[in-house]
Structure 1
Amino acid sequence: MSQRKLRLGAFIMATGHHVAAWRHPGSQADAGVNIDHYIALAKTAERGLFDQVFVADSPGVWHQGGRESLSRQGRLSYFEPVTLWAALSQVTSHIGFVATASTTYEDPFLLARKFASLDHISKGRAAWNVVTTSAENVFGNFGLEAHPDPATRYARAHEFVDVVKGLWDSFDDDALPRDPASGVHLVPEKLHELNHIGRFLKVKGPLNIERPPQGHPVIVQAGSSEDGKELAAATAEAIFTAWTSLAEAQAFYKDVKGRLAKYGRRPEQLLVLPGISPVIGRTEAEAQAKWAELQALMHPAVGLATLEPFWPGEDLTKWALDAPPPYIPEAPRGIHSRAQVVLELARREGYTVRQLYEYLAGARGHWVVVGTPQTIADRMQEWFENGAADGFNVMPPVLPQSLDEFVDLVVPELQRRGLFRTAYEGRTLRENLGLERPASRYAQPQAKAA
């Protein structure tokens, strides 16, 4: 039997991924700023032997639609992720922590320092989800006149990631002997200034914290546009993506893995982790009833707001909810990959407006699977064994309820099939993901010379 195992991440959206989850009795309405809630989730995910927990983040308020939908949102107040993960690392011992941070709206020196600190605080369990920020309503928070276009954002992102990695290499692994007998704390020749001058950034260095335990925190990327795939191929070690059919997921998997060679990388150096939002029942009928219960909690104004990015400028309140959309556009600028998934789904399934927003309400275009633990495991196994996924980013529709159900019901089924670990293999996130520890850019020339 193959030793290849599923990689699992828990994608934590405070109250859960369904847009009406905050109203559900199985959720915690104040979850975004409830540290006890997050402690419980992290411990549950670790009990389930997940590789990592992940939170999305934005440098602004998440909202689409008018005042009516705004008044019914449950995702407006939430912790900054690096701060949150630093706290949760102290009540866990194995699970990794993926924090989102923007290359468009953050400073590379400060970001490098934050994530290096998190890696030290967690003893090697930090990861950075690299995003360029697609939301066009946040630029005013940073004194800018406009949101940069996608090409500019991604060009900056390539440079930004390289700078951050260079800063993480400021200290050689053995730069700090800290020898009281000799009085030598640092070997100066093993501390390096970056002296980067590029198109977007000018950063001198060195970083004022030693090299992280993992060498570099794990680099994650969460985009499936052409620019996103190229950024992932060049820089990422895991990619979060959204697909709703096996064929689409297989095509993406083959595409992104095929881009690695030109960057001198091997296919196993990038893990492809599609999102899956499981609605779990002990019977199919129970699972369908749970899904219907969630949908009944959603106000139509909130549902229509989920469609606005895909029909920009359209007054959706005039549409008949139980008829197909009057037209299906090409993917709008700025949200390329997710728009393509959603609009192709609408075409393929012939959804009415209501059916489409009900689907999106569950996980914003990610794969929603409603069924028994066996059904969920069947679908995951099919994708895993047929070139569509190296694992999954599990997106519980209601928290904490749905994560508890996945750990208690689906994880044992995956283990029974030999698809998932029964114990952690290592102590760091890299070790558990099967990823190599990167050598310092300053050590590599020496190794080649030897």
Structure 2
Amino acid sequence: MTTQRQILLNMNLIGAGAHTGAWRWPGNAPSAFASIDSYVTAARHSERGRLDAVFLADTPALRDGIDRHPQLQGFDPAVIATAVTAATERIGAIVTASTTLGEPYDLARRIRSVDVASGGRAGWNVVVTGTPAAAANFGHLPFPGKSERYARAEEFVDVVLALWRSWHPRAVLADTAAGAYADPTLIRAIAHRGTHFQVAGPLTLPPSPQGYPVLVQAGASPAGRALAARTADVIFSSATTIEHGREFAADVRALAVHHRRDPHTVAVLPGLITVLGSTEREARQRMDELHELSDPADALRRLAFGLHVDVADLRLDEPVPAGAYRGDLAGLAASEGNYQALIALAHQGLTVREILRRAGTGGHRVFVGTGEQLAQDIIRWHAAGAADGFNLMPDVLSDGVPALVDEMLPHLRAAGLFRSEYSTTTLRGHYRLPEPQFT
């Protein structure tokens, strides 16, 4: 994509917010993760800002420390997507669902249902689950190794795409005079017989106005990048510097060309945690107050998980000890992209506290400043070819989402880089993606 094209923006709705202290923030509902209304309110604010989509993460397992902190995600994301698209008119909803857990027919049908019900506003964020606790909830024991999980993912995605294409857009005739509802020659079984799955098909619903859901992926490992470059329309990254962002975007686009895809149809969106204030000083004070509301033990636990080290080796005001790193990443349960972002900061000699301030516990870049400064930062990344846009992760949903809409977006619009009104009705249209292919 060229730097002249408008910036793409999603709003990542994570429980009470992306910061670990968000659930205790004044005015925020402590149990926001279990309130559909909180997601709907955030989605409505996001649509008021004319954003492309809301992003709905998921880990289908109860997090550690529930006695001290609420869950980050509780609902099935498809349930949230159904609620928010019913309460809005244009904004898309991206549903996270795993290829390691469950079956492709069930997932394809569930997300197709959201897509048809919303008039073509659904996307699927493909994840390859690395969390043993989640796998145990689905009976996947012993937990499969990474190479096996990615082999399953490759076939899983192919089966889902085949199911989504099992109805041709012209299959529905709806000819009441002739008594002909559909052309059965344009509704085809997929008859898939593979290493991991046997699926007959077809699906039970016709296509939506966008054809089928937008495919999103966030793999940073070689296997993850290969899957994303072959299949994804939108690729999330954990880039924390412009240089890293440019390298990642260039690599996945080169891989897309290898798969005979037009690299300009692949959008790259890094994650970005935002902490805004009316002045830079106010934003930094807000960050300090959020840190005061965080449980240091929980932050250390989550950072240790992301860094693939033992929590006992971490001290807030000391660097990560060189001897703490585990040489074998085969057992890495966290995202490899997030791991790479965190490990890069640790290798700079930053203290654990400094790492938490710059990348949180998950490896995404943290921006602290005013709405205007954030807009300038986004424009720099976009102009440098490091991002086609961002997956925005507000620190606190209740006031962080409205702040992004009201204090940052006007500056992007003034630069001519973000829409004032929607011109399309589907998520594929918002992202300026080509029409999907049906055989």
| TM-score for both structures, normalised by structure 1 | 0.92
Following superposition, the deviation at residue 30 of structure 1 comes to 1.2
Q: 1:352 — aligned with what?
A: 351
Following superposition, the deviation at residue 134 of structure 1 comes to 1.5
Q: How many residues align?
A: 433
Identify which range, 258-267 or 73-82, moves more after superposition: 73-82
Q: 1:188 — aligned with what?
A: 184
Unaligned runs of 5+ in 2: none
Question: Does structure 2 conserve the Cα–Cα contact (< 8 Å) formed by 1:179 and 1:185?
Answer: yes
Choose from 373, 380, 401 the match for 2:378: 380
1:341-400 per-residue CA deviation (whole Å, 9 max, x = no partner) reads 10111112x211233234443x62111111112211111111000010000000001111
1:236-295 per-residue CA deviation (whole Å, 9 max, x = no partner) reads 000111121111111111111111111111112211000111211111111111111111
Taking the aligned partners of 1:307 and 1:71, their CA distance within structure 2 comes to 19
* Matched residue SS, 2:299: helix
Q: 2:338 — aligned with what?
A: 338
Q: 2:389 — aligned with what?
A: 391
Taking the aligned partners of 1:149 and 1:2, their CA distance within structure 2 comes to 39
Choose from 420, 423, 439 the match for 2:421: 423
Following superposition, the deviation at residue 212 of structure 1 comes to 2.9
Q: Write the letter of the residue equivalent to 1:13.
A: I
Taking the aligned partners of 2:320 and 2:366, their CA distance within structure 1 comes to 21
Taking the aligned partners of 1:27 and 1:220, their CA distance within structure 2 comes to 30
Q: 1:322 — aligned with what?
A: 317
Taking the aligned partners of 2:60 and 2:28, their CA distance within structure 1 comes to 25
Superposed CA RMSD in Å reads 1.8
* Matched residue SS, 1:322: coil
**1:296–1:245 CA distance, 2 compared to 1 (3 A):** same
Taking the aligned partners of 2:386 and 2:356, their CA distance within structure 1 comes to 26
Following superposition, the deviation at residue 3 of structure 1 comes to 4.8
Q: 2:119 — aligned with what?
A: 123
Q: Write the letter of the residue equivalent to 1:356.
A: I
**1:155–1:27 CA distance, 2 compared to 1 (3 A):** same
Question: Does structure 1 conserve the Cα–Cα contact (< 8 Å) formed by 2:100 and 2:135?
Answer: no
Taking the aligned partners of 2:226 and 2:153, their CA distance within structure 1 comes to 11
Question: Does structure 2 conserve the Cα–Cα contact (< 8 Å) formed by 1:99 and 1:128?
Answer: yes
Identify which range, 92-101 or 416-425, moves more after superposition: 416-425
Question: Does structure 2 conserve the Cα–Cα contact (< 8 Å) formed by 1:16 and 1:396?
Answer: yes
Following superposition, the deviation at residue 73 of structure 1 comes to 2.0
Q: Write the letter of the residue equivalent to 1:365.
A: G
Q: 1:403 — aligned with what?
A: 401
Question: Does structure 2 conserve the Cα–Cα contact (< 8 Å) formed by 1:332 and 1:339?
Answer: no
Question: Aligned ranges for residues 268-287 of structure 1 at < 5 Å?
Answer: 268-287=264-283
Question: Aligned ranges for residues 223-262 of structure 1 at < 5 Å?
Answer: 223-262=219-258
**1:331–1:223 CA distance, 2 compared to 1 (3 A):** farther
Taking the aligned partners of 1:77 and 1:166, their CA distance within structure 2 comes to 29
Following superposition, the deviation at residue 337 of structure 1 comes to 2.2
Question: Aligned ranges for residues 5-154 of structure 1 at < 5 Å?
Answer: 5-63=6-64, 69-75=65-71, 78-154=74-150
* Matched residue SS, 1:181: coil
Unaligned runs of 5+ in 1: 64-68, 443-450
Identify which range, 25-34 or 387-396, moves more after superposition: 25-34
Following superposition, the deviation at residue 313 of structure 1 comes to 6.2
Taking the aligned partners of 2:248 and 2:73, their CA distance within structure 1 comes to 34
Taking the aligned partners of 1:98 and 1:320, their CA distance within structure 2 comes to 37
1:125-155 per-residue CA deviation (whole Å, 9 max, x = no partner) reads 0000011112122222122322211111111
Taking the aligned partners of 1:305 and 1:179, their CA distance within structure 2 comes to 60
Following superposition, the deviation at residue 421 of structure 1 comes to 0.9
**1:76–1:38 CA distance, 2 compared to 1 (3 A):** closer
Following superposition, the deviation at residue 217 of structure 1 comes to 0.4
Percent same amino acid among aligned pairs?
38
Q: Write the letter of the residue equivalent to 1:288.
A: R
* Matched residue SS, 1:272: strand
Q: Write the letter of the residue equivalent to 2:203.
A: L
Q: Write the letter of the residue equivalent to 2:215.
A: I
Taking the aligned partners of 2:308 and 2:414, their CA distance within structure 1 comes to 47
